[in-house]
């Protein structure tokens, strides 16, 4: 699981994956005998191969412009299929992308007050800005309803989420072009990127159905794959799995750690291995890919 693939990783507060690390991860997979395949191919082979081999599926969440400008040439060099999960609000520029707003506020100021948290951050350098970004993001992930409490901070700083969406996300024409690429698949990611478990069932279903309808109309092709926003146990569970199936998705991915080894995995709650961030290293990546980290979490009773 990737999000942004950043050419200037440090200036973006190390929130995505650096260009070099992205290329390293694909080359490492090839070197270690993993075949990078599409999601559909992976599931077909798991179901039908009498002697399953190592498959890796590359996915991106949110539809960032650098998935094309930076990541795509690397994917092409490595002949790596990939899926991009896109919320309606990204290409339509209506997404309440609080993470982009927060990053912009921190990048542009050496002192930032987050009134909703009651905290004032002194962040004169990139490391302290990245640390503040991590702390506020963790606070939001503890209760996804807190995201909207950051709006006054953005207003007082003169930060426009619509303008940031225009800078960072693919527009409709670019998304249509990407969908024609032989390595690319486009999946759904809701209309507005909410934590679906925080919504009532009708609203959650509408978020999924509206997004699927929008993408299919835009791309003039079926959209069968879906990613739950945030993807944690607190953001999606069995109710969301049922809704995804009702809406017509054949697979759905989470952000829960793990590898798919069962020949009949739950295709509406597939785990993913996240890559990126300021604390990601080659050693940590290799441990996750080899299942060492998951095994240790299991032994220690961690999620």
Write down all domains in the chain, each with its CATH number in brackets.
5-95+169-300 (3.20.20.370), 98-162 (no CATH)
Mean pLDDT throughout 237-254?
Answer: 97
Mean pLDDT throughout 86-94?
Answer: 98
pLDDT of residue 51: 76
pLDDT of residue 262: 67
Mean pLDDT throughout 252-261?
Answer: 88
**Which string of b and e fits 251-270 if b means at least 16 CB within 10 Å?**
bbbbbbbbbbeeeebebbbb
Residue ranges of alpha helices (H) inside the chain are 19-31, 39-48, 66, 72-77, 98-108, 126-142, 151-156, 161-168, 172-179, 201-219, 238-247, 282-289, 292-300
pLDDT digits (tens, 9 = 90+) for 25-39: 999 999 999 999 999
State yes or no: pLDDT of 303 exceeds 70. no
pLDDT of residue 16: 97
State yes or no: pLDDT of 292 exceeds 80. no
pLDDT digits (tens, 9 = 90+) for 100-154: 999 999 999 999 999 999 999 999 999 999 999 999 999 999 999 999 999 999 9
pLDDT of residue 289: 85
Q: What average pLDDT does the chain have? A: 93
Mean pLDDT throughout 150-177?
Answer: 97
State yes or no: pLDDT of 295 exceeds 60. no
pLDDT of residue 137: 96
- What does the radius of gyration of the chain's CA atoms come to, in whole angstroms? 19
Percent of the chain with pLDDT over 90: 84
User: Are 209 and 171 in contact, with CB atoms under 8 Å apart?
Assistant: no
State yes or no: pLDDT of 7 exceeds 50. yes
pLDDT of residue 296: 46
pTM for the complete prediction? 0.94
pLDDT of residue 146: 96
What residues have CB less than 8 Å from 16, skipping those under 6 apart?
2, 3, 4, 5, 6, 9, 64, 66, 276, 277
pLDDT of residue 280: 86
Mean pLDDT throughout 66-88?
Answer: 98
pLDDT digits (tens, 9 = 90+) for 170-180: 999 999 999 99
pLDDT digits (tens, 9 = 90+) for 185-207: 999 999 999 999 999 999 999 99
Three-class SS of residue 193? coil
User: Measuring CA to CA, how many Å separate 50 from each of 32, 45, 129, 193, 264?
Assistant: 21, 9, 51, 39, 13
State yes or no: pLDDT of 263 exceeds 80. no
CA atoms within 13 A of residue 129's CA, in its CB half-sphere = 19
pLDDT bucket at 87, cuts 50 / 70 / 90? very high
């Amino acid at each position: 699981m990737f999000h942004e693939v950043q050419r200037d990783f440090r200036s973006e507060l190390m929130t995505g994956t650096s260009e070099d690390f992205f290329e390293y991860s694909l080359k490492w997979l090839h070197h270690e005998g993993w075949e990078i395949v599409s999601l559909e191919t992976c599931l077909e082979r798991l179901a039908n191969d009498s002697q399953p081999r190592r498959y890796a599926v590359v996915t991106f969440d949110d539809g960032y412009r650098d998935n094309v400008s930076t990541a795509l040439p690397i994917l092409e060099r490595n002949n790596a299929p990939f899926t991009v999960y896109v919320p309606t609000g990204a290409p339509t520029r209506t997404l309440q992308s609080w993470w982009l707003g927060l990053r912009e506020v921190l990048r542009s100021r050496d002192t930032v007050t987050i009134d909703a948290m009651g905290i004032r951050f002194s962040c004169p350098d990139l490391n302290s800005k990245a640390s503040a970004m991590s702390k506020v993001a963790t606070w939001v992930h503890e209760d996804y309803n807190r995201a909207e409490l950051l709006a006054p901070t953005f207003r007082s700083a003169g930060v426009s989420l619509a303008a940031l969406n225009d800078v960072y996300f693919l527009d409709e024409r670019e998304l249509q072009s990407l969908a024609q690429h032989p390595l690319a698949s486009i999946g759904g990611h809701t209309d507005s990127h909410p934590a679906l478990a925080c919504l009532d069932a009708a609203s959650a279903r509408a978020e999924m159905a509206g997004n699927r309808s929008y993408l299919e109309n835009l791309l003039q092709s079926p959209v069968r794959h879906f990613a739950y926003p945030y993807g944690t146990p607190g953001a999606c569970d069995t109710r969301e799995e049922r809704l995804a199936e009702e809406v017509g998705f054949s697979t759905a991915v989470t952000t829960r750690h793990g590898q798919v080894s069962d020949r009949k995995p739950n295709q509406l709650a597939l785990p993913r291995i996240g890559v990126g961030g300021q604390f990601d290293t080659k050693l940590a990546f290799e441990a996750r890919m080899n299942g060492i980290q998951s095994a240790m979490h299991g032994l220690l009773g961690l999620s």
